[in-house]
Chain A
């Protein structure tokens, strides 16, 4: 696809300063692939429901030259109940002045520019993205000049949550930024990590974010991804996770903000007995378009994935959910399940859900299912008959539907906060349903 977007971003000014020859090579290679293949068009299966046509014609400036000085409200970056190390990026730029990096035993947090001589960083940053559908990851590699490394030493149990914040605030014009997060948990280590994407209204930036996560043997990562980007923002994210033997990822994902949002979540259960448990929610209103793409790959024996995703679409919004599970040859004893339930709250909203199961092994347990429905009218009447106004009853039922993602959070202050954020993003004044409900027989 011919793209003004790419032309402008790739041609703007000089190439990012070179800090390491290998990095320059990786950037050049990514840039060449991008120039060759462009952005995925309508024929790309992976982008079937999310057209990039409009985005491709937008000309964003590359990075925000004033990012280091932008004022950011404390309430934008703070999370109730979360008071540990915090790493703040504003318009893609690391802000030491807004970050808190207390020394914590076994934990290393460092801006990427400071760790370019690290072989682990090298391996992750130089990773090639071979598929043309991974255009944004290529763009990230080609242009990224800021990011963070979070590393936990083997056997270290970090008992404070680490909070990464990516904030979008108004700049002099619309800007595009690239950000990169590298996470590595050493053997038998454990970490709670929160990745927040936030924004203030009045900006329509393009954030392009890649997180690469390696969880080594026997380690456990609790990852909460909270996306409450600005209403007009565009956010493209890719999360690549590799789970080694006996490693475990507990993932909670919330997609609430943004105008056009795409999240590719790729999890490789690469070691025997690796486990993934994930709970995800997207709740959309207005004209939001949010596309979640799961690519879960069982590559080893006795691996387990358990995924529950809930989607809510109101007004003229559109939700896309593609959940693919692949069981590789030899990955016997795999236990995989994916359930995606959706609520349509308006006649004009749309949800496209596509669970996909590809199995190349024997002795596999796999289940998947997807539904799209409306609020339960019986429950709605029950709540109203007790005095709750209809809009409140609808919001309460919708919230209840979404809560599956946060029920298991152990931090009550954070759970209450997410409840409030969810409620804030749910439709409060939904018109009475237009479709005449089937009469309830006595």
Chain B
């Protein structure tokens, strides 16, 4: 099976500082990969560089998505290709209505893919289906994008957008941070409802807790800009037990 996402020896510099230093990773359709690592390891850089954010300088390596050079694509093209980033810090955008924004985004993607655009009836039907899964109130739709949302609402809104846009590859950047256990379960339910043989997830997290609810196929440990260890879900438990220091020790032992 051809991999969906292939990251090969990726080196990324941010503001003159090397953050990713030779990261390689392959994700197949249907798989859930968790990326864990200490603060400053480059987890969020990975998410941002995949989504196409400015200010991330790729100095070496390549990223292909479904065989195509992902790094050459604009952010909106990546979205239309099926790449979605759930932001660690969703942006508040006063004056832009949530519903208008989502419909414009969905239709822009559909247009880019040569699909027909949805009219407001079709769109609202889809919205209601997805809202129910995330236990989000209708009222959020009438507000400005993320404006005045609580931390939990913002994260659930990210997952709601993901559900609506139905990406092929969803990258969740510390979606669990700042969530209480109930919100965490809702987010996990939203993700699990979308698991599909044709869809892949990259779940970036600092803590193992989220992985109790979104069970990954593969767990990677990212440290100092590289993946230093990969394994099944038991790796996450080991990390939880021993802490990230354990990885550092193993690295040193391996290098010796």
List residues of chain A with CB within 8 A of the CB of B19: 442
Interface residues of A in 86-113 (CB under 8 A from B): none
Please tell me if the beta carbons of B42 and A386 are within 8 angstroms of each other in the complex. Answer: no
* B72 at the binding interface (Cβ < 8 Å): no
- Which residues of chain A have C-beta atoms less than 8 A from B51's C-beta? 381, 385
Q: Is the CB of B96 within 8 A of A378?
A: no
- Render B119-161 as a binary contact track against A, CB cut-off 8 A, 1 for contact: 0000000000000000000000000110000000000000001
CA A404 – CA B112 in complex, angstroms? 32
B92-106 with Cβ < 8 A to chain A: 93-96, 101-102, 104-106
Asked whether A383 lies within 8 Å of B93 as measured between CB atoms, the reply is yes
Q: Is the beta-carbon distance between B56 and A439 smaller than 8 angstroms?
A: yes
Q: How far is the CA of A381 from the CA of B51 in the complex (A)?
A: 9
Contact B56 A388 (CB under 8 A): no
Q: Contact check, A401 vs B95: say whether CB atoms are below 8 A apart.
A: yes
Asked, given contacts A388-B105, A440-B55, A442-B44, whether A382 binds B93 with beta carbons under 8 Å apart, the answer is yes
Interface locus among B59-67, B75-83, B234-242, B243-251:
B75-83
Task: Report the minimal beta-carbon distance from B245 to chain A, rounded to whole angstroms.
Answer: 22
A14 to B177, CA, bound (A): 79
Q: A403 contacts which chain B residues (CB < 8 A)?
A: 95
Given contacts A382-B87, A384-B74, A386-B79, contact A396 B104 (CB under 8 A): yes
User: In the assembled complex, how far is the CB of residue B49 from the closest CB belonging to chain A, in whole angstroms?
Assistant: 9
Interfacial chain A residues near B56, Cβ < 8 Å: 439
What is the bound-complex CA distance between A370 and B108, given in angstroms? 35
- Cα-based distance from A377 to B94 in the complex (angstroms): 14
Quick check: A384 and B96 within 8 Å, CB to CB?
Answer: no
Report the separation of the CA atoms of residues A47 and B150 in the bound assembly, to the nearest whole angstrom. 48
* Residues of chain B contacted by A382 (CB below 8 angstroms): 87, 90-91, 93, 145
Question: A404–B95 contact, CB under 8 A?
Answer: yes
Whether A437 sits at the interface, judged by CB under 8 Å, is yes
A430 → B minimal CB distance (Å): 15
Let me know if B68 is at the binding interface, CB within 8 A. Answer: no
Residues of B contacting A378 with CB < 8 Å?
A: 91
Contact residues in B for A399 (Cβ distance below 8 Å): 95
A389 on interface, CB distance cutoff 8 Å: yes
A383 to B15 alpha-carbon distance, docked (Å): 23
Identify the closest chain A residue to B12 (Cβ). A442
CA distance A382 to B42 in the complex (A): 20
Which of B15, B84, B102 interacts with A441 by CB under 8 Å?
A: B15
A256 to nearest B CB, angstroms? Answer: 17
Instruction: State which residues 363-389 of A face B: CB under 8 Å.
Output: 376-379, 381-389
Interface contact A389-B79, CB-CB below 8 Å: no
Given A389-B76, A440-B53, A442-B19: A397 touches B96 (CB 8 Å cut-off): yes
Alpha-carbon distance between A378 and B87 when the two chains are bound, in angstroms: 11
- Do A396 and B101 touch across chains, with their CB atoms under 8 A apart? yes
For B162, the closest partner residue in chain A by CB is: A386
How many A residues touch the partner, as a band? Answer: 20 to 34
Within 8 A of A (CB), among B17-63: 19, 42, 44-45, 48, 51-57
Q: Is A264 an interface residue (CB 8 A)?
A: no
Pick the contact of B54: A393, A401, A440, A442 (CB < 8 A).
A440
User: Taking A392-B108, A404-B95 as contacts, is the C-beta distance between A387 and B76 under 8 angstroms?
Assistant: yes
Chain A residues positioned under 8 Å from B15 (CB to CB): 438-439, 441
Which residues from chain B contact A400 at a C-beta distance below 8 Å? 93-96, 144
Answer whether residue B175 sits at the interface, using C-beta atoms and an 8 A cutoff. no
Asked if residues B14 and A441 are in contact (CB atoms below 8 Å), the reply is yes
Considering the chains assembled together, what is the distance between the CA atoms of A392 and B101 in angstroms? 11
Interchain nearest-CB distance for A312 vs B (Å): 13
State A376–B51 Cα separation when bound (angstroms). 18
B214 within 8 A of partner (CB): no
Q: Given contacts A439-B54, A442-B48, are A385 and B79 in contact (CB under 8 A)? A: yes
With known contacts A386-B101, A392-B104, A397-B96, A381–B54 Cβ distance under 8 A = yes
Q: A382-B90, A440-B54 are in contact. Are A389 and B108 (CB under 8 A)?
A: yes
Q: Is the CB of A383 within 8 A of B101?
A: yes
Q: Which residue of B lies closest to A400 (CB)?
A: B95
Q: Are A386 and B91 in contact (CB under 8 A)?
A: no
CB distance from B198 to the nearest CB of A (A): 19
**Is residue B4 contacting chain A, with contact meaning CB distance below 8 A?**
no
Is B55 touching A397 in the complex (CB atoms < 8 A)? no
* Residue B165 is within 8 A (CB to CB) of chain A in the complex: yes
Residues of A within 8 A of B105 (CB): 383, 386-388
A393 CA to B44 CA, complexed, in Å = 23
Cβ contact within 8 Å between A386 and B96? no
| A114 CA / B30 CA spacing, docked (Å) | 80
Give the nearest-CB partner of A378 in chain B: B91
Closest to B145 in A: A382
How distant is the Cα of A379 from the Cα of B93 in the complex, in angstroms?
Answer: 7
List of B residues within 8 angstroms of A377 by Cβ: 54
For B45, the chain A residues whose CB sits under 8 A away are: 442
Q: What residues of chain A lie closer than 8 Å to B96, measured between beta carbons? A: 383, 396-397, 400
Interface residue from A379, A397, A442 paired with B14 (Cβ < 8 Å): A442
Q: A388 near B104 (CB under 8 angstroms)?
A: yes
A174 CB-CB contact with B under 8 Å? no
The residue on B at minimum CB distance from A433 is: B54
B85 at interface by CB-CB < 8 Å = yes
With A400-B95, A400-B96, A403-B95 already in contact, the answer to whether A385 and B85 are too (CB < 8 A) is yes
- Some 19 contacts from A to B, beta carbons below 8 A apart, are A381-B52, A382-B87, A383-B105, A384-B76, A385-B75, A386-B105, A386-B165, A387-B80, A387-B106, A389-B108, A393-B76, A399-B95, A407-B95, A438-B55, A439-B14, A439-B57, A440-B55, A442-B14, A442-B42
Beyond A379-B91, A382-B93, A387-B80, 4 extra complex contacts between A and B, CB < 8 Å: A383-B101, A385-B76, A388-B104, A392-B108
